[in-house]
Amino acid sequence: MAELGRAALLVTLGLSAYALVAGGYAAWRGRRRLAHSARNALIASFFSTLAAALVLVAGFVRDDFSLAYVAGHSSRALPTPYKLSAFWGGQEGSLLLWLLVLNAYAALAVWLARKRAKDLVVWVTPVLAGIALGFTWLLVAVSSPFDVIAAPADGSGLNPSLQNPYMVVHPVALYLGYVGLAVPFAFAMGALLSGRTDERWIVATRRWTIVAWTALGVGQLLGAHWAYQEVGWGGYYAWDPVENAALMPWLAATAFLHSVMIQEKRGMLRIWNVTLVSLAFCLSLFGTFLTRSGVVTSIHSFTKSSIGPWFLGFIVVAVVFAVTMIWLRLPQLRTTAKLESLVSREAAFLYNNLLLVALCLTILWGTAWPMVSEAVRGQTMVVGRPYFDFFLRVFGLPLLLLMGIGPLVAWRRASLRGLLRTFAWPAGAALATGVVLIALGAGSSIPGLVAYTFSAFVLATIALEFTRGTQARRALTGEPVPTAFGRLIGRNRRRYGGYVVHAAIVLLAIGVAGSSAYDSVTEGRLAKGQALTVGGYTLTYRSLGEREGANATEIRAVLDVRRGGKELGPLEAGKNAYSVEQQVSNEVGIRTDYLTGEDLYVIAEQVNDDGTVFFRIFVKPLVNLIWLAGLVFVLGSVITLWPDAREERRLATRYARAAERSDTHATT
Binding site for another protein (CB under 8 A): 68-69, 72, 90-92, 143, 156, 159, 161-162, 231-233, 242, 291-292, 294, 297-306, 339, 342, 350-351, 354-355, 358, 362, 369-370, 373, 379-384, 386-387, 390-391, 394-395, 523, 525, 582-586, 603, 605-606, 614, 616
Closer by beta carbon to another protein, 380 or else 483: 380
Cβ 131 to another protein shortest distance, Å? 22
- 3 state SS of 149: coil
**Neighbouring C-alpha atoms within 13 Å toward the C-beta of 63:** 12
DSSP 586-626: EE-EEEEETTTTEEEEEEEEEE-TTS-EEEEEEEETTTHHH
Cβ 586 to another protein shortest distance, Å? 5
**CB contact set of 261 (below 8 Å; sequence gap of 6+):** 349
Closer by beta carbon to another protein, 48 or else 263: 263
Beta carbons within 10 angstroms of residue 467's beta carbon: 12
Cβ 23 to another protein shortest distance, Å? 33
Cβ 390 to another protein shortest distance, Å? 6
Give residue 426's identity as a one-letter amino acid code: P
Q: Please report how the helices 200-226 and 241-266 are oriented relative to each other, as an axis angle in degrees rounded to 10.
A: 150
Closer by beta carbon to another protein, 214 or else 301: 301
Cβ 63 to another protein shortest distance, Å? 19
Closer by beta carbon to another protein, 582 or else 653: 582
Cβ 533 to another protein shortest distance, Å? 19
Closer by beta carbon to another protein, 14 or else 90: 90
Q: Please report how the helices 182-194 and 91-112 are oriented relative to each other, as an axis angle in degrees rounded to 10.
A: 50
Cβ 622 to another protein shortest distance, Å? 24
Cβ 205 to another protein shortest distance, Å? 25
Closest CA to 191 of 181, 178, 182, 202: 202
- Specify the DSSP element, H or E, that contains 270: helix 270-293
- 3 state SS of 534: strand
Closer by beta carbon to another protein, 40 or else 335: 335
Closer by beta carbon to another protein, 394 or else 410: 394
Give residue 210's identity as a one-letter amino acid code: I
Cβ 421 to another protein shortest distance, Å? 26
Distance of CA 330 to the CA centre of its chain: 31
Q: Could you give the C-alpha distances from 519 to 60, 143, 223, 392, 626, in angstroms and in order?
A: 44, 45, 21, 18, 15
Beta carbons within 10 angstroms of residue 487's beta carbon: 15
Cβ 523 to another protein shortest distance, Å? 8
Query: How large is the greatest C-alpha to C-alpha distance in the chain, in angstroms?
Result: 89
Closer by beta carbon to another protein, 141 or else 475: 141
As a whole number of angstroms, the distance between CA 202 and CA 99 comes to 24
Closer by beta carbon to another protein, 378 or else 480: 378
User: Are 279 and 252 a contacting pair, CB within 8 Å?
Assistant: yes
Closer by beta carbon to another protein, 110 or else 347: 347
Cβ 70 to another protein shortest distance, Å? 12
Cβ 642 to another protein shortest distance, Å? 35
Q: What are phi and psi of 352, to 5 degrees?
A: -55, -45
Cβ 338 to another protein shortest distance, Å? 11
- Beta pairing partners, 606: 614
Closer by beta carbon to another protein, 93 or else 636: 93
524 burial type by CB count under 10 A (0-12 exposed, 13-18 middle, 19+ buried) = middle
- 3 state SS of 300: coil
Closer by beta carbon to another protein, 205 or else 353: 353
Q: Could you give the C-alpha distances from 246 to 37, 217, 238, 340, 429, in angstroms and in order?
A: 35, 8, 13, 36, 35
Cβ 365 to another protein shortest distance, Å? 8
Closest CA to 570 of 595, 591, 586: 591
Cβ 319 to another protein shortest distance, Å? 20
Closer by beta carbon to another protein, 72 or else 630: 72
**CB contact set of 35 (below 8 Å; sequence gap of 6+):** 23, 26, 27, 122, 125
Closer by beta carbon to another protein, 590 or else 638: 590
Closer by beta carbon to another protein, 231 or else 568: 231
DSSP 323-378: HHHHHHTHHHH--S-----SSSHHHHHHHHHHHHHHHHHHHHHHHHHHHHHHHHHS
126 burial type by CB count under 10 A (0-12 exposed, 13-18 middle, 19+ buried) = buried
User: Are 414 and 342 a contacting pair, CB within 8 Å?
Assistant: no
Cβ 91 to another protein shortest distance, Å? 6
Give residue 541's identity as a one-letter amino acid code: Y
In 449-536, where do the E strands start and end? 520-526, 531-534
